Amino acid sequence: MQASTGTPENEHKWKFAQCFGDKGDSEDITEADIISAVEFDHTGDYLATGDKGGRVVLFERNESKKSCEYKFHTEFQSHEPEFDYLKSLEIEEKINKIKWCRRTNAAHFLLTTNDKTIKLWKVFERNLKVVQQMNLTDGEPKPVAPVARPLTLPKLMHHDTIIAAIPRKTYANAHAYHINSISVNSDGETYISADDLRINLWNLDISEQSFNIVDIKPANMEELTEVITAAEFHPWQCNLFMYSSSKGTIKLADMRESALCDQNAKIFESAEDPNNRSFFSEIISSISDVKFSADGRYILARDYLTLKLWDINMEKKPVQTINIHDHLRSNLCDLYENDCIFDKFECNFSGDGKNLTTGSYSNNFYIYDRETLSEINLQADKSAFKAKRLGSAKNKMTLAGPRNGGMKGRRDDADSIDFNKKILHASWHPRENTIAVAATNNLFIFTE
């Protein structure tokens, strides 16, 4: 992977800092090259990406640069394609999620998962040494008669340092459906994994067994009305976790209350406007991603058309509702035909919780200030930066202010949107205003 940098001028403080990715034309991009997961570690000094080819690429902060830029650290093949002979089902190698474990020594530990199998990887520096001195060397004449000579022990000399990645644990055969989420607990010892109907609790050191803590599978599958779409642990209370559903609900559960946590839980659900009720209502209300703020007070949820901010102490209605794709409401039929209505956009808090971000089409993503209600629209697209350098007015990096009805910024006309270019995955640096954005096979770094 190659990196390119640039700083297009703009009326706001955000700027494009770096891009990792192939320089070839879009026609040369294979399905395996498309990035499917992006995640900063807890320090922000390391960044991980996973792709549909099962590869994981790690980047580390480049301390020689003043700005927040990253350099290639290592790459390894995390998952391979498999075949389930019992169900006659192909299991893709695509990386669905990556989560870093908190660092306790010089090595890094991170969890990666595809649809069925979770792996714990150890990434560390390994010193390669070579033998420097032996008793006999090639070309040295061997003595005819025994003679007294000192015995020289072989000496090892440092030859090189490499970054090694080895799988320490493999957590398999615990999910009947596709895994959509993994989340490491604040206790540093456990994590959860969620599929469509169940959430399992694991101990990082034990791969042979897990505990089922949420099970929404009905006795009769014909009565199935919703599926689990995402799950995450509370950032500092190790007994709390939340999960979202395709019905647009978020449940906050406490593992101390019962072994199965799907009964006694706080439910966050906003009432639907009867005027907007349509055939697509259930589809667009499905929550694709949920995140806790760093202080654990707020929940951010993304569905197809909106971004909602919840206070965990207020279940009646969200604190803020941001319309992301309101301009596409009249095009839902077309979006259903081309499957775009099923796109799963992620959302993120900034490290201080003051800003929110989520993606959209035409490689656009938006940053929202919770206090000023302002919106910043950035575009992660190489062609946009080329156009900027050429002095073109086509670049759509704009700063929009608040409008009536909350945070509504200017949107492009639906006819001009490129639905093949979409920002589904992004990660916000835990301590700085820096965002890593996945755009097809490219990783963009934006910084303030």
DSSP letter string over 18-49?
Answer: EEEE--S-GGG--GGGSEEEEEE-SSSSEEEE
Structure tokens belonging to residue 153: 């022990």
For residue 201, which phi and psi values (nearest 5 degrees)? Answer: -105, 130
Structure tokens belonging to residue 288: 């694709």
Considering the chain, what percentage of its residues have pLDDT values greater than 70? 84
Which pLDDT value is given to residue 11?
Answer: 55
What does the alpha-carbon distance between residue 310 and residue 318 come to, in Å, rounded to a whole number? 5
Q: What confidence tens digit (pLDDT) does each residue in 350-393 have?
A: 999 999 999 999 999 999 999 888 999 999 987 766 655 544 43
Is the pLDDT at 118 greater than 90? The verdict is yes
What does the alpha-carbon distance between residue 347 and residue 303 come to, in Å, rounded to a whole number? 10
Q: Is 342 among the domain residues?
A: yes
Which pLDDT value is given to residue 275?
Answer: 78
Q: Is 262 among the domain residues?
A: yes
Q: Is 392 among the domain residues?
A: yes
Which pLDDT value is given to residue 405?
Answer: 38
E-state strands within 153-273: 155-171, 181-184, 190-194, 198-203, 206-215, 228-233, 240-245, 250-254, 265-268
Write the CA distances from 270 to 56, 353, 402, integer angstroms: 37, 22, 23
Q: Is 130 among the domain residues?
A: no
Residue type, 192: I
Q: In this structure, are strands 364-369 and 55-61 parallel, antiparallel, or unpaired?
A: unpaired
CATH number reported for the structural domain that contains residue 27 in this entry: 2.130.10.10
What does the alpha-carbon distance between residue 370 and residue 204 come to, in Å, rounded to a whole number? 36
3-state helix, strand, coil in the chain (%, to 5): 10, 45, 45
H-only helix segments in 77-150: none
Number of Cβ atoms within 10 Å of the Cβ of 198: 20
Mean pLDDT of the chain: 87
Residue 313, SS3 per DSSP: coil
Number of domains in the chain: 1
Torsion angle of the four alpha carbons 63, 65, 66, 67, in this order, in degrees rounded to the nearest 10: -100
* Confidence label for 116 from pLDDT (cuts 50, 70 and 90): very high
Sign of CA dihedral 225, 310, 44, 386: positive
Check residues 296 and 405 and name the one with the higher pLDDT. 296
Look at residues 356, 353, 363 and name the one whose alpha carbon lies nearest to residue 424. Answer: 363
Which pLDDT value is given to residue 67?
Answer: 60
Q: What confidence tens digit (pLDDT) does each residue in 67-101 have?
A: 658 999 999 999 999 988 888 889 999 999 999 99
Q: Is 30 among the domain residues?
A: yes
* Confidence label for 25 from pLDDT (cuts 50, 70 and 90): low
Number of Cβ atoms within 10 Å of the Cβ of 8: 14
Q: What confidence tens digit (pLDDT) does each residue in 217-254 have?
A: 999 999 999 999 999 999 999 999 999 999 999 999 99
Q: Is 371 among the domain residues?
A: yes
What does the alpha-carbon distance between residue 242 and residue 26 come to, in Å, rounded to a whole number? 38
Number of Cβ atoms within 10 Å of the Cβ of 89: 11
> In terms of C-beta density within 10 A (0-12 exposed, 13-18 middle, 19 or more buried), how is residue 33 classed?
middle
What does the alpha-carbon distance between residue 443 and residue 428 come to, in Å, rounded to a whole number? 13
Model-level pTM?
Answer: 0.86
Q: Is 369 among the domain residues?
A: yes
Structure tokens belonging to residue 196: 């469509």
Domain containing 351: what range?
2-116+175-447
What does the alpha-carbon distance between residue 28 and residue 353 come to, in Å, rounded to a whole number? 39
Is the pLDDT at 49 greater than 60? The verdict is yes
Q: Is 217 among the domain residues?
A: yes
